[in-house]
A and B are shown apart, each in its own frame.
Chain A
């Protein structure tokens, strides 16, 4: 069983649009949406949810006001500025914990002299196993304002792998998140191939370089696709040069075409929406990617 992840560094270069078309083109796969922060793949694949799992991650501190003696020791030790002393008429009246700033380290819980702080388990998201007309989709939703999306990403990857093994599918196609920190690291570690979607813009090129280095750091092989390559041919040339210098295969170029947005608005993967130049380019990209795998 092989795993491919679609990443980009910069957001909005076309990861999900390409992943959805890959899902439509492949017939032996499980699909995973690892952008648990702002997942969009379900908008194109229209999943029917079969199973839902709670995602619990870490704990958060709560103060029992009846026990609290307002000594302020917790405020002193908290490095995340999550605890505030509420002062009324020049005296400390009570303590409050901001659940958004609390990282759940529990230092306040350990230092509290009267055991007034409780660490409660934190429900931070949900994971779904769904059926789509293209096969099984494993996806998730991190609650807004939460942290630890790396762990939820790992959970999505584990379930996707499990479903592929169970149903004897030989491919997992993963839609990755933007950026270069914990969610992306969790999305790429141990995959067979990373397809980096870039654009001929200085921003996307800058981010391509950073995300390529992250993949390299974690020993993941990368290939590149240049989306909207005809928007700036000079920059496209520069990307090709960069790839040559770094020994990165270019798996395809996709033209700029507003039909891609039209397909998205209609909620259909481009390759199913229309048969034209751009859908053929995506087909070629898919075939080449599978060959390079």
Chain B
């Protein structure tokens, strides 16, 4: 564990996003402190997923995407000249909504795929695979079948494999875009446990539609909302305790208590 990189503080300053001429996010300012889990909540279409994609420069892959503002990783602008998209994505990992293990690869090769894709040398592949799978708490389930095809796993296992795949890159920040939305309650619980364990070594940002999940896993919560025909933005940002038990804004109160969305 000593070789692991330290968690970093990530922050967004005045992030606005466009798709073509349409502005979908306006002026998002959030700070994700090191070793904290931040939940992004809000109704569908409010720009949470769009926002999380600006944090590792996946946003710019969409044709017609536009951006204003900055994202700082320990004070350095990831859109600045010192960074390229590839090195940003190595430092800031991402787990997607739907488990997406590479279907042509074995479990072991999936774990090592990031190292191969980014052109790094793999020295102690077995060790990397074991460490990553252990950190994603799936080692015991797959240790005897590392050479099986990854898609022979169940959906929940596939998602934990994808988490392990990101962990193999030793990211400082892990972004999770509704990682449990396609999973059953049992798998969801295990992933939530994993998130809590991982926060000791990295910073985590998670988009979720599940209020209980946000309360269970996160230290702080940001509530996003897009009013009709206006770009989305952050309505309220604070400790998870405050957002769920004593929100200042009426709209936050309505949302977390299930009155809309």
Asked if chains A and B come from one complex, the reply is no
* Interface residues in chain B, defined as those with a beta carbon under 8 Å from any beta carbon in chain A: none
* Interface residues in chain A, defined as those with a beta carbon under 8 Å from any beta carbon in chain B: none
